[in-house]
Amino acid sequence: MSAENTSRRLVWHGMLLFLLGLFTGFAEPHFANVRMGLTAHVEGVMNGMFLVALGAAWSLLRLSARQSAVLFWTGLYGAYGNWAASVLAAAFGTAALSPITSAGHHGLPWQETLVTAALLSVGVTIIICTVIALRGARRLALPLR
């Protein structure tokens, strides 16, 4: 996949996630935990902007084909996953990994476990994504062949 195509795809996904975040804002009053609904709204908007920024910076990153693929997929999973896990937490009313935004709500044990696993996997994934992007931004330009 070309750098231009990858950049365009990231921007597209970023704008889609931004839109999903905006729609999540309209749904806030209908969640079991309204405060977590606000968090889901903000996660959608912020992670959408992250993907747009990553897409805009894509041509500046110096990465191997494998690193590029890992960066692309961890970026998408991290951004969409963070929003989706927050939506689930809002819908279930869980307190998993978010005692401040739980506002005294608690979900069923399986719901708490699901949201905790989702948030942990997203956290690890987005750190990997960020480290790869930092590494690619620091490297010197690859020599022309």
Burial of 1 (0-12, 13-18, 19+ CB in 10 A): exposed
pTM of the model: 0.89
**According to CATH, what is the number of the domain 3-138?**
1.20.1420
Asked if 28 and 89 touch (Cβ cutoff 8 Å), the reply is no
Helix and strand counts by DSSP (H, E) for the chain: 5, 0
Burial of 63 (0-12, 13-18, 19+ CB in 10 A): buried
Query: One digit per residue, pLDDT tens: the chain, 145 residues?
Result: 688 899 999 999 999 999 999 999 999 999 999 999 999 999 999 999 999 999 999 999 999 999 999 999 999 999 999 999 999 999 999 987 777 666 677 778 999 999 999 999 999 999 999 999 999 999 665 555 5
Asked if 93 and 33 touch (Cβ cutoff 8 Å), the reply is yes
Query: Per-domain residue ranges for the chain?
Result: 3-138
